[in-house]
Structure formats: structure tokens, C-alpha cells
Amino acid sequence: MIRNYTDENYLRGYIPNLDSLLFTGETNFNKQKVLAEIEVANDFINSNYKGLFIRNDLILRESGTTLSATTTETISSEDKLTRLRWVVDVKVLTGVDKTLTLYGTNDSGDNYTELNSMTIGTTNVGSIISQTLAVPYTAYKVTATVPSGTLDYSSLMTETGYDTLYALKWGGLIYFQNYKKEDDQYFSKYNEFKKRYDAEFAKFVVNYGDEINEEDTFGSNPRSITMLK
């Protein structure tokens, strides 16, 4: 599913001096982030990529059952879409901090590799945390270490193919709102980000599994498609 999990730390990879672009009285770039998300969504819709908004994430755990002891979830379904972002939504957490550990397997669960871990506390309740992987695996599972107290959370794997588009659109809007005249440094950076965004979008390729019908997804004007079987 198309969603933006990038944050300002991610954006600093494109704009190291990001904080220097803040307007007086502003403490973050959330306004520009929302605008970027709207513009990227419209670009996908106008290019007949509407089916991307209902693509399934790879579910690792659904919330609704509160844990009071260390618990390992069952292995996920096979990941056919090379999802590289691990997402956790903390619903309930009481007591001491808890640790979530993500494992990956390429042999249906005979062998697992520890991939990432995150420590979560009471301040994370109601928030979404995500991490990216460097290498995809066929399937995943999560272990929640709960030494005391309680924990309820949901967890999934989602795609990272849109991250660059969001970052370039977001950064471009920040430069656009900072420029004063068409030959200043901010206008030049805005044009640079715009060109990079347009080039990235033009080469965008959709990988999708059997759960989405090609005609329903792309309408009568399909773009570049790589179909996984």
C-alpha cells in the first residue's frame, strides 16, 4: 500500500542542512510533508496507478491480543513483493520497556536470521515506528520480549519503492517555498529535486502478486509492469 514512512532523518540524507531551511516560528517540515504526500498520490492516480492504494501489506501480527510474556509469532506468508520496511504500531504497553526482534527466513522457517530489533516504551504507545532492511527475505516472524507488564502491537512489512519519490517531492517543496527569485540557490535546488523526481517517476516499475488484477489496477493505460508469478 502506498504510504509515506519517511521522516526528517531520512530527508537529511538528501538535504544535510535541512534545519537551516526552517521558516521562523516553525519547528518541523510537517506542512510540506503533507503537501508532498498529496502531490505524489495525485501523480499515481493520474497515471492510472490507483490499485497501489489497496495493495496488501505483509502482516506479521495483528493487534487485539495483549501479551504478558515473551512471545514469538508464527511465520508470515511468503513475501512476493520484496517488502523492505518493517512497521510496528504500538497499541498497549505497560511496565518496563519491551524489545521486538525481526527474523527472516529463505527456507520456509528451517533457519532464521536476526535482522533488526527495536526497544519500545510507554512513550511509543499510539505511535508507528519503522525500520528498513538492506536485504529481503522470503518470510518473516517477530519475537516480543516482555519481561514484565503488558504489550499489544501490530506489525507488518511494506514496500519501500515509494520512499525516494516522497523524499524528492518533499525536499523540492521545501526549496520551492524558500526561494526568493529564479536565479537564487534555492530555486536551483528546487529544479534539481523536480528533475530527479520526474526522472524517478518516469522509470517507476510496479511489482505485484496474484492478489491484484492488472486491469483493475492500471485501467486502460497501463505503465511499466513487472508481474511476479
pLDDT at 223: 41
pLDDT at 217: 39
Among candidate residues 125, 158, 191, the one where a domain is terminated: 158
**Dist CA 41 CA 189 (whole Å):** 23
Mean pLDDT over 46-75 rounds to 92
Q: What is the percent of the chain where pLDDT is above 70?
A: 90
What is the band of 74 on the pLDDT scale with cuts at 50, 70, 90? very high
Mean pLDDT over 110-115 rounds to 96
- Give the domain extent around 154: 58-158
In a domain, residue 3? The reply is no
Mean pLDDT over 182-196 rounds to 95
pLDDT at 209: 54
Q: Are 122 and 137 found together in one domain?
A: yes
Number of domains in the chain: 2
Q: Are 69 and 143 found together in one domain?
A: yes
Among candidate residues 158, 181, 204, the one where a domain is terminated: 158
Q: What is the percent of the chain where pLDDT is above 90?
A: 80
Q: Are 147 and 189 found together in one domain?
A: no
CA neighbor of 86 nearest in space, from 24, 40, 128: 128
Q: Are 47 and 74 found together in one domain?
A: no
Mean pLDDT of the chain: 90
In a domain, residue 78? The reply is yes
**Dist CA 166 CA 35 (whole Å):** 10
Mean pLDDT over 24-47 rounds to 95
Among candidate residues 127, 158, 189, the one where a domain is terminated: 158
The listed range with the strongest mean pLDDT (87-96, 177-186, 206-215) is 87-96
Q: Which CATH number covers residue 132?
A: 2.60.120.260
Q: Is residue 27 pLDDT above 90, yes or no?
A: yes
pLDDT at 208: 55
Per-residue pLDDT of 128-176, as tens digits, reads: 999 999 999 999 999 999 999 999 999 999 999 899 999 999 999 999 9
Question: Hey, which residues does 143 pair with through a beta bridge?
Answer: 72, 101
In a domain, residue 209? The reply is yes
Q: Are 76 and 142 found together in one domain?
A: yes
CA dihedral sign of residues 36, 42, 47, 51: positive
Q: Are 122 and 143 found together in one domain?
A: yes
Check residue 90 and give left, alpha or beta (phi > 0: left; psi -120 to 50: alpha): beta
In a domain, residue 43? The reply is yes
In a domain, residue 2? The reply is no
DSSP the chain: -------HHHHTTT-TTGGGGPPTT----HHHHHHHHHHHHHHHHHTT-GGGGGPPPEEEE-SS--BSS-EEPPPPPP-SS---EEEEEEEEEESS-EEEEEEEESSTTSS-EEEEEEEE-GGGTT-EEEEE-SS--SEEEEEEE-SSSEEEEEEEEE--TTHHHHHHHHHHHHHHHH-SSTTSHHHHHHHHHHHHHHHHHHT--EEE-TTS-HHHHHTTS---EEE--
More confident call, 92 vs 49:
92
Q: Are 12 and 29 found together in one domain?
A: yes
Residue 83 phi/psi, 5-degree rounding, is: -80, 130
pLDDT at 76: 97
What is the band of 35 on the pLDDT scale with cuts at 50, 70, 90? very high
Q: Tell me, rounded to whole angstroms, the distance of Cα 62 from its chain centroid.
A: 18
Q: Are 72 and 151 found together in one domain?
A: yes
Q: Are 110 and 40 found together in one domain?
A: no
Q: Are 181 and 136 found together in one domain?
A: no
State pTM to two decimals.
0.82
pLDDT at 213: 42
What is the band of 2 on the pLDDT scale with cuts at 50, 70, 90? confident
Q: Are 120 and 211 found together in one domain?
A: no
Q: Are 138 and 112 found together in one domain?
A: yes
Q: Tell me, rounded to whole angstroms, the distance of Cα 134 from its chain centroid.
A: 14
In a domain, residue 165? The reply is yes
In a domain, residue 215? The reply is yes
Per-residue pLDDT of 198-227, as tens digits, reads: 999 998 877 655 444 443 333 333 443 333
In a domain, residue 213? The reply is yes
